[in-house]
Amino acid sequence: RKEVEQDPGPFNVPEGATVAFNCTYSNSASQSFFWYRQDCRKEPKLLMSVYSSGNEDGRFTAQLNRASQYISLLIRDSKLSDSATYLCVVNIGDTGGFKTIFGAGTRLFVKA
């Protein structure tokens, strides 16, 4: 089983739609969580961190459920510019060993 698993995608949605991505992680020692965005042939960029209390940034809402080891990202009122691959990211470890695990990503296509 992969340490971080995401919806396979691709998601094809019309402009204005609401779309939700899910991500599960297997390591209970996971400590911090993020959503990154990666455009085609570009480097990943941080979209938002994910906090236990849930957090919102404009049209984007992220949720974390530690008990279920589950992270979600909700995008409201999708724009054409939201088309990208969304990467679920988990940090695991401590000073004796640390790693960042990226999910394989979910591709989103927003169409006019």
- 69-108 residues in contact with another protein (CB under 8 A) are 87, 91, 93-105
- 4-43 residues in contact with another protein (CB under 8 A) are 31-32, 34, 42-43
Burial of residue 52, with CB atoms counted within 10 A of its CB: 0-12 exposed, 13-18 middle, 19 or more buried:
exposed
Please report, as a single letter, which amino acid is at residue 85.
Answer: T
Q: 87 with 38: CB under 8 angstroms?
A: yes
- 41-70 residues in contact with another protein (CB under 8 A) are 42-46, 49
Total residues at interface with another protein (CB under 8 A): 24
Which pairing describes strands 45-50 and 60-65: parallel, antiparallel, or unpaired? unpaired
Residue 100 beta carbon to another protein: minimum distance, rounded to whole angstroms: 5
Beta-bridge partners for 41: none
Q: Which positions lie near another protein, rule CB under 8 A?
A: 31-32, 34, 42-46, 49, 87, 91, 93-105
